[in-house]
Amino acid sequence: MLAERPVPEDGRVRAKTKARKRRIRSVTVNLSESPLGWLHARGHLTDRQFDGGEKLRADWERANLAPNVTMSWNMVPLTGGSRAAPERLNATEAQIAARQRFDNAIAHLGSDLSDIAWRIICAGEGVPAAEKNLGWPARSGKLVLKIALDRLANFYRLPGED
């Protein structure tokens, strides 16, 4: 979802006054963009770091670890008749496998890096909010996140720097 809101040319938000009229420009903001996507789009993360974070987020979503607010209505009814081995995992097996990969990735990060990675990648917190919630100094979260993303890329065996 995109939202457009006026922003003064110098970027500062001011109270409305009739005394001075300033030229205002409009900025389009993608409200559904993830914090990881935002950092990558602005050149703060390498492609490998971004891909490592996206793999963790995909496992988190496939494992259905996000809080649910209602019943899941997307289950496909099982049809009988065929006794052949399935070519791929069914929904439950895929969910269990994703949960195992997620747990192993978080364990690979260790307790020092897993907090920031989970908050930004899975929970969608921004870097400043994650720093504040963890009690860290300002501008430290991005550096620690990059270390965590490098470890995730190694865990998922992504090509590139090791």
| Domain boundaries, position 49 | 34-66+91-162
| C-alpha count within 13 angstroms, C-beta hemisphere, residue 143 | 5
SS3 155: helix
Would you say residue 17 lies in a domain? no
Tens of pLDDT along the chain (162 residues) come to 555 555 555 555 555 555 556 666 665 656 557 899 999 999 999 999 999 999 999 999 988 877 666 665 665 555 555 555 556 768 788 889 999 999 999 999 999 999 999 999 999 999 999 999 999 999 899 999 999 999 999 999 999 865
Nearest Cα neighbor of 119 from 109, 134, 108 is 134
Total domains in the fold of the chain? 1
| 108 located within any domain | yes
The type of residue at 111 is: S
